[in-house]
Chain A
Amino acid sequence: MPDDLDPQPTPPPANPTTLAELLPFLPVSYEYGQQFGMVYSQELADRLEEVQAEEPTQFVAKGVALTDGRYLLTADILSEVPSGLYRIGFSKLDPSRFDEIEIMPIADALALLPVPEPMPE
């Protein structure tokens, strides 16, 4: 079959709003993932830590606390699931809750980070 008749994979959405929307497209490319942040609740952060503790590995996803009480993971980690460095923890997550994980442009997510400690002059 000529190359030009090969079925082209559907690209992931340009403006996803939840992780559930990206599930059919995993793994996404590193460059695509770098455009977004994944923001989720304290409850999901606790659950993420819990499932990863069940089978400790060297590669662990651990969100950073935001000023609004939620947590942030950069979405380039989605280039390492379901079969990459973070496969073990990812396999233990409940996909039915992925629609609770908000995807937002990385600039918007970074704006929610605490301000670094100022350096003395």
Chain B
Amino acid sequence: MPTLAPKLPWQHAFAGGYPGRSGQALPTDPDAIDYLNRVAAADGGVSVEVGIAQAIDAFVRGCKADSAGYAGDPTRTNWDAIKSACIMCGARTLSGALVSLRKYGVEEFVNQTPTINDGGGSVGAYDSATRTMSITGVGAENTRPRFDFNMGRSLGVTYKFEGRLSGDLSKVYRVLFADTVVATGASLVANGGVFSSTITSNGYPPYFYLDGTQAPSSVRIDSLSMKAVINDATNVANNFTSSDYSRSGATPGLKGNGSTKYLNTNRAGNADGQDDYHLSAYQTAAAGGVAALIGSTVTSPESRTSLVTAGADYYPRINNSTGALANYPGGNTVGLFAASRALAASYVARSGTSENFPLAVASTAHQAQSVYVFSQNVNGSPADFSGSRLAFYSIGSSLSLSALDARVSTLVSQIAAAIP
């Protein structure tokens, strides 16, 4: 007997099943749930159906299981490499479709040992096993010892910095990040040791100051987190409308018009590494003419990062120092268009033909201007508008294109099938 269960909102009381009836799996990955909750908020408070939520949960889990294949960091997964991304299908409304897949970047607190700055005779110590900062020797300064954790140092990047401390909270002089006071001993006592802030980095790490005049004392880090904030995509183009968006069915995605509509990802072109970078866009319906799916181009000094189709031809570029590039096939196909650079001298690209092809063009530094989707940002203005329909895009570090292709293709087909 057919069941409507997969079409229930996944947060519905009976979404997991009814008493006496077989159940169905609900999302359990914390990052998938975070994304689904933010989509529901943007969609007016109604969560997506169980079938769509399951597809997104499987996608996130899969990306976390896929190695990025990056020699500079063998532990990196494709999920780690995806920084700014949108699933432009599944959500109930266009507002929901423009919610960033990831609100935050990777966790930068990985139990690193702090550098201890003593002063005025104080003697600080750190126990990595219990993550405890302590003062074993009395000093003359209330601003030492200072414990410096090497994280949150990308200049200009906004970070969510939060945690919980316990122990001698009143003997914390202050917690500082980017020269901004995040907490004091008094505020920690008042808030049960909890602190939280969102601050743009000036390059300096977080500092934990203990009052050296009040030794012996110790403060334990119960939890600590430092994550870069990823901005939501912002439709700054004139007039994407609700009618441009199809959440499911045969050709899900958001459709450009080839002349005026584009998305501003709010992701700076230089936010990721010059030789550690990827772009992707999943096309569910192709457009004619010269059409940039995603990109940012500066013409002087020349630096090109874009995925451009021109009929059956395809021109992928990642921080290229020149526009000269042979055309590659698959421009008018349906599927994932992507390119990833892990080397200064060459990179790898992929089109809907599902074949990786290597390209030997040297890289150059990119500018801070934002990456656009459905066009490319050329010297600050949109150009080469695309009339294609896109169901996904991503920007970030170098990753495995074939693994990303497999995951995104499955995601889009499952969402398309979930609500025919």
**Is B10 interfacial (CB-CB < 8 Å)?**
no
Within 8 A of B (CB), among A75-94: 76-77, 79-80, 84-86
Which of A3-11, A12-20, A97-105, A109-117 faces chain B? A109-117
Known: A80-B241, A117-B384, A119-B313. A74 touches B260 (CB 8 A): yes
Within 8 A of B (CB), among A23-60: 30, 58-60
User: Would you give 25 A-B contacts (Cβ < 8 Å), ordered by A?
Assistant: A58-B95, A58-B235, A64-B259, A65-B381, A72-B259, A74-B257, A74-B261, A76-B241, A77-B238, A77-B239, A77-B241, A79-B241, A79-B242, A85-B241, A110-B259, A114-B383, A116-B289, A117-B378, A119-B290, A119-B313, A119-B315, A119-B327, A120-B325, A120-B327, A121-B327
Within 8 A of A (CB), among B236-261: 236-243, 257, 259-261
Known: A58-B98, A113-B259. A80 touches B384 (CB 8 A): no
Chain B's interface: helix, strand, loop or mixed, by majority? loop
B232 and A74 within 8 A (CB): no
Query: Looking across the interface, which residue of chain A has its beta carbon closest to that of B95?
Result: A58
Known: A117-B378, A119-B290, A119-B315. A59 touches B259 (CB 8 A): no
Query: Looking across the interface, which residue of chain B has its beta carbon closest to that of A29?
Result: B243
In whole angstroms, what is the CA distance A29 to B241 when docked?
11
A76 and B310 within 8 A (CB): no
- Select the residue from A62, A84, A114, A119 with max chain B CB neighbours within 10 A: A119
In whole angstroms, what is the CA distance A44 to B392 when docked?
34
Query: Looking across the interface, which residue of chain A has its beta carbon closest to that of B258?
Result: A110
**Which of these, A64, A110, A118, contacts B238 with CB under 8 Å?**
A64
**Is B308 interfacial (CB-CB < 8 Å)?**
yes
Known: A72-B260, A76-B243, A79-B243. A116 touches B238 (CB 8 A): no
A30 and B241 within 8 A (CB): yes
In whole angstroms, what is the CA distance A30 to B313 when docked?
32
A59 and B260 within 8 A (CB): no
B290 and A59 within 8 A (CB): no
**Is B234 interfacial (CB-CB < 8 Å)?**
yes
Known: A74-B261, A119-B308. A80 touches B239 (CB 8 A): yes
Cβ-Cβ contact count across A and B, 8 Å cutoff: 83
In whole angstroms, what is the CA distance A12 to B42 when docked?
32
Within 8 A of A (CB), among B91-128: 94-95, 98
Query: Which residues of A sit under 8 angstroms from B243, Cβ to Cβ?
Result: 30, 76, 79
Known: A63-B260, A119-B313. A76 touches B378 (CB 8 A): no
**Is B382 interfacial (CB-CB < 8 Å)?**
yes
User: B234 → chain A, closest Cβ, in Å?
Assistant: 5
A59 and B257 within 8 A (CB): no
In whole angstroms, what is the CA distance A72 to B235 when docked?
16
Query: Looking across the interface, which residue of chain A has its beta carbon closest to that of B233?
Result: A58
Contact mask for chain B residues 287-328; partner A; CB cutoff 8 A; 1 contact, 0 none = 001100000000000000000101001010000000111110
In whole angstroms, what is the CA distance A64 to B313 when docked?
26
Query: Looking across the interface, which residue of chain B has its beta carbon closest to that of A34?
Result: B257
Query: Which residues of B sit under 8 angstroms from A76, Cβ to Cβ?
Result: 239, 241, 243
In whole angstroms, what is the CA distance A52 to B327 when docked?
40
**Is A22 interfacial (CB-CB < 8 Å)?**
no
User: B151 → chain A, closest Cβ, in Å?
Assistant: 30
Query: Which residues of B sit under 8 angstroms from A120, Cβ to Cβ?
Result: 315, 323-327
User: B95 → chain A, closest Cβ, in Å?
Assistant: 7
Query: Which residues of B sit under 8 angstroms from A118, Cβ to Cβ?
Result: 290
**Which of these, B232, B259, B310, B383, contacts A119 with CB under 8 Å?**
B310
B308 and A85 within 8 A (CB): no
Query: Which residues of B sit under 8 angstroms from A62, Cβ to Cβ?
Result: 236-238
Query: Which residues of A sit under 8 angstroms from B238, Cβ to Cβ?
Result: 60-64, 72-74, 77
Query: Which residues of A sit under 8 angstroms from B383, Cβ to Cβ?
Result: 114, 116-117
B242 and A84 within 8 A (CB): yes
User: A61 → chain B, closest Cβ, in Å?
Assistant: 5
User: B300 → chain A, closest Cβ, in Å?
Assistant: 14
Within 8 A of A (CB), among B38-67: none
Query: Looking across the interface, which residue of chain B has its beta carbon closest to that of A75?
Result: B239
Query: Which residues of B sit under 8 angstroms from A113, Cβ to Cβ?
Result: 259
User: B291 → chain A, closest Cβ, in Å?
Assistant: 8
Query: Which residues of B sit under 8 angstroms from A59, Cβ to Cβ?
Result: 235, 240
Query: Which residues of A sit under 8 angstroms from B259, Cβ to Cβ?
Result: 64, 72, 74, 110, 113
Query: Looking across the interface, which residue of chain A has its beta carbon closest to that of B309?
Result: A119
In whole angstroms, what is the CA distance A113 to B310 when docked?
18
B308 and A74 within 8 A (CB): no
Query: Which residues of B sit under 8 angstroms from A77, Cβ to Cβ?
Result: 238-239, 241
Query: Which residues of B sit under 8 angstroms from A74, Cβ to Cβ?
Result: 238-239, 257, 259-261
